[in-house]
């Protein structure tokens, strides 16, 4: 009797899963912040890749003269049969000049260009293989050497918070003591609220989620901004080989939650919220851009029609 009452649409999730795995996933991550805050090291640590092999390091004089440019690094990662096409968008030159007025503009323009390209492809005739280059998340690196946010940080985040999911990062956390990390995090959170900056909001847990997931989600929310340390070198600590940094006073372990928030950031970015970051990009940021485009196109059409009517009535 059970077989007679069973239609079969309960297998739909499995069909979607198979199709998604076959197609593969893509994710575009932007890293922004001044030079020397460990952006490249952190990205390599997060995805266990070496994306910056051919990078040319600039002298202090060259850095001051350099303008903000946008560079892209794409890499295909495979894990347990699941393929991820990861694109890292870097912003070398950001915040390094003597005068950094509006140095966020090239970054904002780049994000808008990706929206524009996607909008054109979506409105075109052949919509089968649209390449999605929209920026799904921006890790914004905040210097550990200042007192909270600097005017440049506020300006950047306010200019971009309607365009992209911003996740603030407190860089080089190994230069701070644990009480200093807590103090700085609190100050940064207060200033984000005070300046009305809308950073990425973690979605609320569903009531049917298990308690462990709810606790993990709460811990992630309370960790903002993530205090991180990056390292691509393996060191020996208590008889174990770990990724970390060797100092005269001891070893800082990248993947030790007691030392920094690296594991929490990786969990959020890859294991629990990658799809939500993509959904928010599609449903909120891109939709806002699309609505503006359609409004301005409609306005132009109405203007043109009115002009023709007036010339006809003369």
262-284 pLDDT per residue, tens = 888 888 888 888 889 999 999 99
pLDDT at residue 175, rounded to an integer? 85
Q: Are strands 234-237 and 137-142 parallel, antiparallel or unpaired?
A: unpaired
pLDDT at residue 66, rounded to an integer? 54
pLDDT at residue 192, rounded to an integer? 92
Q: Which residues contact 140 (CB under 8 A, 6 or more apart)?
A: 32, 33, 153, 156, 157, 166, 167, 168, 169
pLDDT at residue 281, rounded to an integer? 92
User: Which residue ranges in the chain fall short of pLDDT 50?
Assistant: 1, 64-65
pLDDT at residue 24, rounded to an integer? 74
A 10 A CB-CB count for 210 gives 9
pLDDT at residue 112, rounded to an integer? 92
- Global pTM? 0.82
pLDDT at residue 97, rounded to an integer? 65
């Amino acid at each position: 009797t059970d077989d007679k009452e069973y239609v079969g649409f309960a297998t739909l999730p499995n069909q979607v899963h198979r199709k998604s795995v076959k197609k593969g996933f893509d994710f575009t991550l932007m890293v922004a912040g001044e030079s020397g805050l460990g952006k490249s090291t952190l990205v390599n640590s997060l995805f266990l890749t070496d994306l910056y092999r051919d990078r040319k390091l600039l002298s202090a004089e060259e850095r001051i003269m350099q303008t903000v440019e946008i560079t892209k690094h794409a890499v295909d990662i495979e894990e347990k049969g699941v393929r991820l096409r990861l694109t890292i968008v870097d912003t070398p030159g950001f915040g390094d000049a003597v005068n950094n007025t509006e140095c966020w503009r090239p970054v904002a323009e780049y994000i808008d260009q990706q929206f524009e390209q996607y909008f054109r492809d979506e409105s075109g005739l052949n919509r089968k293989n649209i390449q999605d280059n929209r920026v799904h998340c921006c890790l914004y690196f905040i210097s550990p050497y200042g007192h909270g946010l600097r005017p440049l940080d506020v300006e950047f985040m306010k200019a971009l918070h309607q365009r992209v999911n911003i996740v603030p990062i407190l860089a080089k956390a190994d230069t701070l003591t644990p009480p200093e990390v807590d103090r700085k995090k609190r100050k940064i959170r207060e200033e984000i609220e005070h300046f009305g900056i809308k950073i990425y909001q973690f979605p609320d847990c569903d009531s049917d989620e298990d308690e462990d997931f709810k606790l993990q989600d709460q811990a992630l929310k309370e960790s903002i901004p993530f205090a991180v340390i990056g390292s691509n070198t393996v060191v020996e600590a208590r008889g174990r080989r770990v990724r970390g940094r060797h100092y005269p006073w001891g070893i800082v372990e990248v993947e030790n939650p007691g030392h920094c928030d690296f594991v929490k950031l990786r969990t959020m970015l890859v294991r629990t919220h990658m799809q939500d970051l993509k959904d928010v990009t599609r449903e909120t940021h891109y939709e806002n851009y699309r609505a503006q485009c359609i409004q301005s196109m409609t306005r132009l059409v109405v203007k043109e029609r009115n002009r023709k009517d007036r010339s006809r009535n003369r």
